[in-house]
Amino acid sequence: MVCPACGYVFGPLETECRRCARRAAQPCGNCGRPGVVTECRECGREICSACAVAVAHARFCLVCAPGDLAARHKAELAASGSTRPLPGPGFVAQVALPGDQGLRGNARRGFAFMRESLAMAFRDKDLLIPPLLSVICSIGFLVGALLLLGTYAASGGFLSHAYMWGPLPIIIGAFAFIFGCWVITYFITYFFAGMTVHLINVHLRGRDAKLPSAFRDAVRNTGALLLLAGASAVVSLLTALIRGLTALMSGVKVLGRFIAAAGDSVASAVDGLRTVVVCLLLPIIIIEDVSLGKAIERAREIHAGNLIPIALAEIGVGMVNGFIGLAFLLLAYAAVHYARVSAPSSVTPTLVAVGVALVPVVAYTGFVRTAYYTCLYLWAVERSEARESAAVPRPLAVALTS
């Protein structure tokens, strides 16, 4: 006897198809729901009927199928009232949005997201490599720039220019040097953050995250990342000037102190807004392969009305990152103080050890922030298509429901 559905040949004592029974209980390789019906022609994953897109005489999963056909398939499922397929095994069905639970609730959600991010990184170790490379390359570039500047100053370059042209070239040159260092440092950070975005997106969709493909994706979007780095450098320079002016005004009686406090608050708000905007634009640039201008338009389109429900989770993530940084600084201070009191000759090795230990701490907190905004972007895209029934990336879902 042969199964009419899959062609399985029954054994002498078999009364039902073992292959169909196994597939009925097996989770889909694309969305994780039980009930496999076929295999993807491109990647070979076994997928359910909701994730199977017919292309000519073959079946493809939603990731491997052409974008227009996949979108049409999703629209047909929604129109027929069928359950919308999940984008990947790293997503879960819609979750209830949390209410305002105060400082304690925000911290709990932040720790929950950090725990899930760490679990995701342990499942795929490549996710932590770009953040580590970002910190190492940024430190290496800054050290190299300072050494170059010190060598130029020691050779009398500044004095010769001052004698020949006056102090103006030195001021312009120093300004250009600082601005250039800012741009390059931001570009290094955004380049490796873009690689992290690519790896997280691929991982959540159930694929094997590969560093070479993430590197190629970041290289492909170098122009947009450079423009983003330049814009960030301009904003950082303006906030630095505001903070410098407020520092000067802080010594001028009552009015000066009030202006200084207001200026410092404005600079902090602008710098925080820059961080949020950049973190939101990076996933769009990397995942959708668009220019900076189109990324800004896309951000307006998909994030309108979608960010407010999880603003509290962002507060929690930032809070926990700050707590980790503060705890590390306190431990570093205690270690240096102990070395200074017990063995003064070990202060330098202790400082070196603290600097080395700082690298993974900064890399991990940067990874958590990048993971959060990548999950936020993916959820915003789902919400733009399915509203309240949108699938949620698992780390974000766990944080929202904790």
Question: Is residue 94 within 8 Å of residue 392, measured between CB atoms?
Answer: yes
Nearest to 66 by CA among 56, 81, 77, 76: 56
Query: What is residue 60's three-state secondary structure?
Result: strand
Most confident of the ranges 140-149, 292-301, 348-357: 140-149
Top pLDDT among 395 and 156 is at 395
Take residue 197 and report the two structure tokens written for it: 């975005």
Q: Residue 198: what pLDDT?
A: 92
pLDDT averaged over the chain? 77
Query: What is residue 92's three-state secondary structure?
Result: strand
Strand residues in 81-175 grouped as ranges (E): 91-92
* H or E stretch at 55: strand 53-55
Rounded to an integer, what distance in angstroms lies between the CA atom of residue 50 and that of residue 63? 13
What confidence tens digit (pLDDT) does each residue in 55-98 have? Answer: 877 788 877 777 777 777 777 766 665 566 677 778 877 766 66
Question: Is residue 209 within 8 Å of residue 203, measured between CB atoms?
Answer: yes
Task: Categorize the per-residue pLDDT at 250 as very low, low, confident or very high, splitting at 50, 70 and 90.
Answer: low
Asked whether residue 275 carries a pLDDT value surpassing 80, the answer given is no
